[in-house]
Amino acid sequence: MNDIDDNRGVHDHPRSTARIGTHPIHPMLIPFPITCLVGAFVTDLLFLAYGDTGFATASRWLIGFGIGTALVAAAFGLIDFMGDDRIRRLNHALQHMIANVAAVVLSIVNLAIRLDGDDNVLSLGLYLSGAVVLILIFSGWRGGDLVYRHGVGVIDRDRAH
From start to end of the chain, where are the E strands? 19-20, 23-24
pLDDT in tens, 63-97: 999 999 999 999 999 999 999 999 999 999 999 99
Q: Tell me the one-letter amino acid at 139.
A: S
pTM of the predicted model over 0.85: yes
Q: Which among 30, 34, 52, 75 is positioned nearest to 121, based on CA atoms?
A: 52
Rounded CA-CA distance 87/142 in Å is 13
pLDDT for the residue numbered 44:
97
Show Cβ contacts of residue 22 under 8 Å, excluding neighbours closer than 6 positions: 4, 5, 7, 155, 160
Show Cβ contacts of residue 151 under 8 Å, excluding neighbours closer than 6 positions: 11, 13, 14
Residue 128 has pLDDT above 50, yes or no: yes
